[in-house]
Amino acid sequence: MHNFRKLNIWTKSMGLITKIYQITNAFPSNERFGLTSQMQRAAVSVATNIAEGSAKSSNKDFARFLEMSVGSLLELETELTVSFNLKYIEDETCKILLDELIELQKMISSFKKRLNND
């Protein structure tokens, strides 16, 4: 079992949640139950799956939850692109967040590989 609070992937994903909430709070009110909600849930899902997976009894089970975290990041990437296309976020903000998502995907994938090798 891993202490998720000490994992860099969890810490970074928690920071991402804050950024996504801050950005989506500025979205139009008609997106409250649409894109805003979807993006917030996807961001929370990344950290939640890391935390939940860390409690599993095997590395194989934990790796499955890490895959779900990556899936949530890809969902969030799509939603960021939609937000940019709808002009809810600026180009620079979108680029910064997409870079952060890609970095976190790589970090999770690397951690998952280490789990599989143990």
Q: For residue 83, give the CATH number of its domain.
A: 1.20.1440.60
Q: pLDDT value at position 28?
A: 94
Instruction: Please indicate, yes or no, whether the overall pTM of this predicted structure exceeds 0.85.
Output: yes
pLDDT in tens, 28-55: 999 999 999 999 999 999 999 999 999 9
pLDDT in tens, 50-80: 999 999 989 999 999 999 999 999 999 999 9
Our count of domains for the chain comes to 1
**Residue span of the structural domain in which 52 resides:** 4-117
Q: Is the pLDDT of residue 118 over 80?
A: no
Among 45, 46, 30, smallest CA distance to 88 is for: 30
CA-derived radius of gyration, the chain: 15
Mean pLDDT of 103-117: 93
Token pair recorded at residue 26: 């500025």
